[in-house]
């Protein structure tokens, strides 16, 4: 459950909590930090602690690439301040005697937010939206695969002959998902007990594929919920001898995993995307927002698909989109209008993969929507039918290389996020491609060993 600081102190005094996870969110959307003895945390460390500044300049393997302006070997890799956000304290029911708090990342000398830290990137766009008089309400869907064996067993096997937890497509399948309740039930219940508003889980459209849905919330809460849930899913799977992966495309013959993002704007507790006089229930504000969201989607695709593997997911006939157009309740489009004609009308971005960092993805989309509102951009008509076969619709960037160049050259994102942020994540994208390009893959060897 969510705890106030006073609640936490009481639980520490009673012995119910003896450990506090003090966490920041890294570039990849992972929780990094320290385990504090709870007494130390409530007495002193609740104010701040420190971490090496390389935590916001590493890749998935924790390598330290060159080329970042913020930190380097030459600069000596100094410290950042981790400032606990005491509004995010919660129990961690799947770990004994443990609570958690998320931190904002501050400059050690100025105590100003580190601009490229994911929570700061999102907070900046929330502040811009607030200045316009609006609140963003958002929800993400978490798709992932469960496997029969543990992370360690799969790693020791060289990631070969991996077996999903089920043998057939389990989309909405109650019988098959009953077999998986040993993992999925504690995921739902532990997260709910941690104060994450879980709605449901379901089987997805592939062997061993799952989906977890969390109730919509204010944008920063949504990103926090997503990040904690993703972390919990991996830990709870591990506790049960299974592995969970958020790799978007773990096998070329399997459909990929997404993270669809639903979004709408509210004012004074009332949804302002809704206009009862419109046939689809869409206000002019919503049309402006969606026009910006769609027009600038190539610029921010990197934040929805940050790795080489991310782009393997975009394939027709797999429910993953290939085009940057919108349609009404049509799952072949990059953007789907949901809840048309009702107060729940909203736009779902279907481009993002399961590997996205929710803070960065949500920030980029909010920035695009704000641009659409500020410029009063006009929304093109909805696309109908099989969007995969629409030759006139613009393509989603199909490779990390293309997305990187779109990011690098985006005047819109540089204005909205800042040059320093765009340059930082452009370097992250370049490094990911460089690392892939130097590796000889199994596919190349099998294809050309004898035949080349």
Q: Which domains are assigned to the chain?
A: 5-114 (3.10.20.70), 125-443 (3.30.590.10)
- Closest C-alpha to 401, from 374, 372, 432, 422: 432
pLDDT tens, position by position, for the chain (452 residues)?
789 999 999 999 999 999 999 999 999 999 999 999 999 999 999 999 999 999 999 999 999 999 999 887 888 788 999 999 999 999 999 999 999 999 999 999 999 999 999 999 999 999 999 999 999 999 999 999 999 999 999 999 999 999 999 999 999 999 999 999 999 999 999 999 999 999 999 999 999 999 999 999 999 999 999 999 999 999 999 999 999 999 999 999 999 999 999 999 999 999 999 999 999 999 999 999 999 999 999 999 999 999 999 999 998 888 888 888 999 988 888 999 999 999 999 999 999 999 999 999 999 999 999 999 999 999 999 988 888 888 888 889 999 999 999 999 999 999 999 999 999 999 999 999 999 999 999 999 999 999 99
Contact 138, 261 (CB under 8 A): yes
Entry pTM: 0.96
Assign 3-state DSSP to the chain and report helix, strand, coil percentages, each to 5.
40, 20, 40
**CA separation (Å) from 360 to 43, 365, 421, 442?**
33, 9, 10, 32
The label of the residue with tokens 């402006």 reads 288
Q: Distance (Å, rounded) from C-alpha 395 to C-alpha 321?
A: 9
391: left (phi over 0), alpha (psi -120 to 50) or beta: alpha
Q: Where are the alpha helices (DSSP H) in 250-399?
A: 284-295, 297-304, 358-374
Interatomic CA distance for residues 421 and 410, integer angstroms: 12
Q: What are phi and psi of 395, to 5 degrees?
A: -80, 145
Determine the pLDDT at residue 331: 85
Judge contact between 137 and 46, C-beta under 8 A. no
Contact 100, 11 (CB under 8 A): no
Residue 171 CA to residue 169 CA, distance in Å, equals 6
Distances (CA, A) of 216 to 120, 221, 222, 224, 360: 21, 9, 7, 12, 17
**Within 10 Å of residue 423's Cβ, how many Cβ atoms?**
18
Cα–Cα distance for residue pair 202/216, rounded to 1 Å: 17
Query: Do residues 429 and 306 make contact, with C-beta atoms less than 8 angstroms apart?
Result: yes
- Kindly report the backbone phi and psi dihedral angles of residue 353, in degrees, each rounded to the nearest multiple of 5, phi listed first: -95, 170
Cβ–Cβ under 8 Å, residues 103 and 22? yes
The reported pLDDT for the residue numbered 324 is: 87
* CA count, 13 A, side-chain hemisphere, 215: 8
**219 CB-near residues (< 8 Å, 6+ apart):** 122, 125, 126, 135, 136, 137, 138, 362, 366
**Rounded to an integer, what distance in angstroms lies between the CA atom of residue 411 and that of residue 415?**
6
pLDDT of residue 330: 81
The Cα 23–Cα 41 span in angstroms is 13
CA triple 232-237-242, angle to 5 deg: 160
Picking from 304, 310, 259, the residue whose alpha carbon sits closest to that of residue 141 is 259
What residues contact residue 306 under an 8 Å CB cut-off, 6+ apart?
28, 355, 356, 357, 400, 428, 429, 432
The tokens describing 193, both together, are 């007990």
Phi, psi of 22 (to 5 degrees): -110, 110
Q: Which residue has the tokens 């409530």?
A: 42
Which DSSP symbol is given to 217? Answer: E
Q: Which helix (H) or strand (E) covers residue 147, if one does? A: strand 135-147
Residue 2 to residue 238: CA distance in whole angstroms: 24
């Amino acid at each position: 459950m969510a705890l106030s600081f006073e609640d936490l102190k009481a639980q520490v005094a009673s012995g119910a909590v003896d450990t506090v996870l003090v966490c920041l969110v890294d570039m990849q959307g992972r929780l990094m930090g320290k385990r504090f003895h709870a007494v130390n945390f409530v007495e002193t460390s609740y104010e701040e602690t420190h971490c090496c500044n390389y935590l916001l300049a590493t890749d998935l393997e924790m390598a330290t690439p060159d080329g970042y302006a913020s930190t380097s070997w030459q600069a000596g890799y100094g410290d950042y301040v981790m400032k606990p956000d005491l509004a995010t304290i919660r129990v961690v029911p799947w770990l004994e005697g443990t609570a958690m708090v998320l931190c904002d990342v501050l400059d050690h000398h100025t105590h100003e937010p580190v601009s490229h830290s994911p929570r700061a990137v999102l907070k900046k766009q929330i502040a811009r939206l607030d200045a316009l008089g609006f609140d963003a309400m958002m929800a993400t869907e978490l798709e992932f695969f469960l496997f029969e064996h543990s992370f360690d067993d799969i790693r020791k096997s060289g990631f070969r002959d991996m077996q999903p937890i089920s043998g057939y497509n389990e989309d909405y399948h109650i019988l098959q998902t009953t077999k998986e309740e040993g993992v999925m039930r504690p995921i739902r219940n532990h997260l709910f007990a941690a104060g994450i508003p879980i709605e449901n889980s379901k089987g997805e459209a592939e062997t061993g594929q799952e989906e977890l849905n969390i109730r919509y919330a204010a944008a920063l809460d949504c990103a926090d919920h997503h990040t904690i849930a993703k972390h919990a899913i991996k830990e709870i799977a591990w506790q049960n001898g299974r592995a969970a992966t958020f790799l978007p495309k773990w096998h070329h013959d399997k459909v990929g995993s997404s993270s669809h993002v639903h979004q709408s704007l509210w004012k004074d507790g009332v949804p302002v995307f809704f206009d009862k006089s419109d046939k689809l229930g869409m206000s002019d504000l919503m049309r402006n927002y969606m026009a910006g969201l769609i027009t600038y989607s190539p610029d921010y695709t990197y934040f929805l698909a940050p790795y080489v593997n991310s782009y393997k997911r975009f394939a027709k006939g797999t429910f993953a989109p290939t085009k940057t157009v919108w349609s009404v309740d049509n799952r072949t489009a990059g953007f789907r209008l949901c809840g048309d004609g009702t107060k729940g009308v909203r736009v779902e971005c279907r481009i993002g993969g399961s590997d996205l960092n929710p803070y960065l993805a949500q920030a980029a989309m909010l920035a695009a929507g704000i641009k659409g509102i500020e410029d009063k951009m006009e929304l093109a008509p909805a696309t109908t039918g099989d969007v995969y076969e629409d030759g006139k619709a613009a393509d989603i960037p199909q490779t990390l290389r293309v997305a990187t160049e779109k990011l690098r050259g985006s005047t819109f994102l540089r204005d909205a996020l800042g040059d320093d942020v765009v340059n930082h994540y452009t370097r992250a994208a370049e490094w990911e491609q460089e690392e892939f390009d130097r590796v000889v893959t199994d596919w190349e060897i099998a294809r050309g060993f004898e035949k080349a």
